[in-house]
Amino acid sequence: MQKSAKLVPGVTLDLIEKIPGRLNDRRTPLGELNWIFTAITDTIAWNVLPRDLFQKLFRQDLLVASLFRNFLLAERIMRSYNCTPVSSPRLPPTYMHAMWQAWDLAVDICLSQLPTIIEEGTAFRHSPFFAEQLTAFQVWLTMGVENRNPPEQLPIVLQVLLSQVHRLRALDLLGRFLDLGPWAVSLALSVGIFPYVLKLLQSSARELRPLLVFIWAKILAVDSSCQADLVKDNGHKYFLSVLADNYMPAEHRTMAVFILAVIVNNYTTGQEACLQGNLIANCLEQLSDPHPLLRQWVAICLGRIWQNFDPARWCGVRDSAHEKLYTLLSDPIPEVRCAAVFALGTFVGNSAERTDHSTTIDHNVAMMLAQLINDGSPVVRKELVVALSHLVVQYESNFCTVALQFIEEEKNYSVPSPANTAEPGNLTPVRDSPAIPRLRSVNSYTNIRTATTARNLNKSLQNLNLNEEGGPAAFSPGNLSTSSSASSTLGSPDNDEYILSFETIDKMRRVSSYSSLNSLIGVSFNSVYTQIWRVLLHLAADPFPEVSDLAMKVLNSIAYKATMNARPQRILDSGSLTQSAPASPTSKGTHIHQAGGSPPMPSTSSSSLTNDVPKPPTREQPATRPPYTPTLGGQAPHSHQFTRTRKMFDKGPEQAAEDSDEPGGHRNYISPALQTGLCDWSAKYFAQPVMKIPEEHDLESQVRLERQWRFLRNARVRRQSRSIIQRGISRLDDQIFINRNPGVPSVVKFHPFNTCIAVADKDSICFWDWEKGERLDYFYNGNPRYTRITSMEYLNGHDCSLLLTATDDGALRIWKNFADQKNPEMVTAWQGLSDMLPTTRGQPSISTHSLARRVSIYLDRSKQGGAGMVVDWEQETGFLMTSGDVRVVRIWDTDREMKVQDIPTGADSCVTSLSCDSQRSLIVAGLGDGSVRVFDRRMGPNECRVMTYREHGAWVVKAHLQKETDGHIISVSVNGDVRFFEPRMPESINVLQTVKGLTALDIHPQANLFACGSMNQFIAVYNANGDVISNIKYYDGFMGQRIGAISCLAFHPHWPHLAVGSNDYYMSIYSAEKRLR
């Protein structure tokens, strides 16, 4: 003090004693100096001391804090007189800290006013200290780089919250700081922000509401343990009033409902307080809000308030909450559907006493949930399994009876062998009896790259434990019993296998679809419990591994209890339980139809058996941008990216691992503990920066530069390929690539822009670089043994490509990270077509024509199924057209992950080829009976078929719709007749005859070439006039070896390249003459 006093002339020691004001009044000179002193010493201590020591000395006791503040000043003054003060605990030296200069300045400013204040009574001018420090903090926020030291002004910002003058600015800056991420929230909490922002909740100032709601959302997203303090201080009322205020923007109401969802999470006092505060009614009013994130969190909040809290559930019943939530089950945003399933799941999951009324409600909710069995989003289906598991726990004894009945039925019923599946009158839609799947030699989650000896069984199947270390308790092959006989699947509880193997469940699923079930139980029982059991059986065969794994856990939990409970009394009950022989199909199999769902019976959907999909141990999903803002500009035309927190096709939350301590833990009460982690995963959105520019919009980010490079490459490929095609192609037989594929190629697909080609065999995909001639990757698609890949598409081929595979059981899988040295990862999978018709496949065309019969037999179609599943991808809209051995063309919106439309084909035979044009909204389908049908999807289901051409006499191999505005339809049948149609004309405008016995055909979209592959071991390439420009019969080299029978072929979308796969495992690519290239 004395030292600095000498810097200000005219101030004496006597004057210093006369500084007016009170220490505890911040508006007076003395009070303000004391306040500045507190802020500066806090700042020095926070920046110099270790965090835990700072907490101990400066935050736990006011007296100790005051003592140590004075010690810091004493150290500075005494050091100037060559004295060294000592403390316990010993502190690092602080006397040279830069903030002391700010203290000197503040003291000087105050002292320089003293003479005039005392002598003339002029007003005291407040120090600019706090405003300047806020500016320094703002500079740190706006100018700094990502990785840097924390801002030293943080404790000062805290002190400024006490001042009404600077409070708004301080809160704004504090919010921007907390938005930097969880580390910033932890720093702010370590400074001691909590009591300050808690106290501010008592303020009624409307302008503070958005800032306080934002700050609290950030705090609770990182540290949810504050819920008790909030309720104790009635802080929840503040957020209830924000939620109820319709004038608040939706973003702020979303944060308020998120905060309330944290307050009521597993905290009875919070649930009671919010129930009294009318939270349920407030939430129900917001369910139809246009802001998706608000709808999502309102549903999560409802699900949490009545989770294990019966008064809230009955309040919800009185307000018809469950019925109002039903509308969200068909919401366009998958996360909202998911949150609604979560809310309905906890609604039925209360363990209080059951009355008839509550049982009726539970049954209604269960039947509504059952309709989501084929939802396009795996996140929704995972949540569905968990919701149904709550119901299973509530009505455990009923489900045990059902399980026992199904097990008995399955044991009594013999699955027909493949030989008699074609007999007329055979009821079962069975392909062939599923046995142990053939797995690639893939031995861990971390390595899906497969060995070349690809046909051996994975021996680790038998000895893997349920909760294998090395990943979340998600899927491991050991979850399945390898025994195919039903009797051995009901093994002793000591073994580490599931009681129900996948084979047993799959068989059960098909038996259940028509056998007489539970003659000993009344109709109401049969209409709900058996149907929910069937839904779970269907979900256990889900193509997405995590969904099937969860369903397997629930089924096996009940199966274990049922068989354990049944053992002592089996002698008594055996007559009534085991001797109900399979009877004719009854109406019982159709109950789920009446409830509006779709029965799981015919679709032998893809199993969870072979999920060698690698899963990283934990997947942080950073929400890189605020939700639902339109993407800036059109940098990536038609690249389907969500502006939501979950990226397109993101799998959502990783499954939470339970029961991992005890190997047998999965037997006892799995179901109550099941959870998907949806809420915690959704909450991460609030912990991540929302004000930051998304990386793809940052002009200098790596992501943006890579995208620009890809777009330049795409333009180059288009330009160069166009110039070659314009010169005219007179031959197409220059072999530029040949290699032996690990399996017989069944589908082949060129990547549109890079030099990669995907070749699928029955159940695996191989990637080749056709320019370098080397294999890039080979991995297992995960479809069950009795299914095959029948179609492939590249999604977002112009940008970050994904690969879609379709199998003939109606399952769709999407992969990323393929064809580069990373592990391929399944992004999503769903049942694209739920009711494939395996017994009638290909029959109409086979019976009509002997050549078609020969080709069909050659292609093994009669045994393995007609067309399988055919798809066409529309990049501009993100729509996926799917059809095959069904009577509809189903359109999926991949952005929303939901079915948009079912167009009836109006035919009795399968769809063999699809082609669409987004400009004209047309879809062309080629069918097995030889007809070509044109649909306009803008029209209703009854009038959308605008044209049917019946000129082909046999199976249509390919129907292609040219993309130009007046583009023609080109279709080809197995008889080799190529027909050109004008969509507005009732008859063909041109006919060309090519080779007979066609097995494969493709049409080049740019060059007007088409190539035919024959069962007679040759390829013929034709130009638009029908002239043969090339006939390929022999491989180059190989001493001129004859090519095998053609199994598949495809043109490159741009280059004049033709890829050919043949039955001798070889994969070759032919191109135009070298001089053109």
- The confidence band for 933, taking pLDDT boundaries of 50, 70 and 90, is very high
Q: Say how far apart CA 28 and CA 451 lie, in whole Å.
A: 80
Residue 1073, pLDDT > 50, answer yes
What average pLDDT score do residues 706-726 get?
A: 93
Q: Are the beta carbons of 761 and 743 closer than 8 angstroms? A: yes
Question: d(Cα 878, Cα 990) in Å, to the nearest integer?
Answer: 33
- Span 50-88, pLDDT tens digits: 989 999 999 889 999 999 999 999 999 998 888 988 988
Asked if the model's pLDDT at residue 30 lies above 80, the reply is yes
Q: Which of 124-138, 557-571, 902-916 has the lowest mean pLDDT?
A: 557-571
- Asked if pLDDT for residue 436 goes beyond 60, the answer is no
Backbone angles phi, psi at 247, to 5 degrees: -85, -15
429 contact partners, CB below 8 Å, separation of at least 6? 510, 601, 602, 604, 837, 838, 839
Residue 13 C-beta-side C-alpha neighbours within 13 Å: 2
Tens of pLDDT, residues 1019-1068:
899 888 888 888 888 777 656 678 888 899 999 999 999 999 989 899 99
Quick one: CA dihedral 279, 284, 290, 296, positive or negative?
positive
- Note the pLDDT of residue 584: 31
d(CA 657, CA 553): 12
pLDDT at 330 over 70: yes
Intra-chain end-to-end CA distance of the chain, in Å: 86
Residue 493 has pLDDT above 90, yes or no: no
DSSP codes, 207-248:
GGHHHHHHHHHHHHHH-GGGHHHHHHTTHHHHHHHHHH-TTS
- Side-by-side strand order, sheet with 1046-1051: 734-740, 1066-1071, 1057-1062, 1046-1051
- 3-class DSSP assignment, residue 100: helix
In 612-755, DSSP assigns E strands to 734-740, 747-750
Considering only 305-319, 570-584, 890-904, which range has the smallest mean pLDDT? 570-584
| Burial class for 680, CB neighbours closer than 10 Å (0-12, 13-18, 19+) | middle
Instruction: Share the mean pLDDT of the chain.
Output: 78
Map 258-273 to HEC letters. Answer: HHHHHHCCCCHHHHHH
Would the pLDDT of 628 be above 90?
no
Q: Quick check: 640 pLDDT over 60?
A: no
pLDDT bucket at 913, cuts 50 / 70 / 90: very high
Q: How many Cβ atoms sit within 10 Å of the Cβ of residue 562?
A: 23
Q: Indicate the helix (H) or strand (E) that contains 920.
A: none
- Residue 741 tokens read as 């594929």
Q: What is the mean pLDDT of residues 890-902?
A: 93
Q: Three-state SS for 852?
A: helix
Pick from 54-68, 579-593, 643-657, 690-704 the range whose average pLDDT is largest.
Answer: 54-68
Characterize the bridge pairing of strands 977-981 and 988-993.
antiparallel
Q: How confident is the model at residue 1075 (pLDDT cuts 50, 70, 90)?
A: low
How confident is the model at residue 48, as a pLDDT? 93
pLDDT tens for 940-965 read: 888 889 989 998 888 899 999 988 88
pLDDT digits (tens, 9 = 90+) for 371-414: 999 899 999 999 999 999 999 988 888 899 888 888 888 777 65
Residue type for position 231 = V
For the whole model, what pTM was predicted?
0.80
Would you mind telling me the total number of residues written for the chain in this entry? Answer: 1077
What pLDDT score was predicted for residue 997? Answer: 79
Which tokens is 442 given? 């893939």
Is the pLDDT at 215 greater than 80, yes or no?
A: yes
pLDDT band for 931, please (50, 70, 90 cuts).
Answer: very high
Q: Give the pLDDT score at 464.
A: 27
Indicate if the pLDDT at residue 476 is higher than 50: no
Non-local (6+) Cβ contacts of 599 within 8 A are 513, 534, 589, 590, 592, 593
Q: Are 387 and 344 in contact (CB under 8 A)?
A: yes
Per residue in 1003-1019, pLDDT tens?
998 888 889 988 888 88
Q: Indicate if the pLDDT at residue 870 is higher than 90.
A: yes
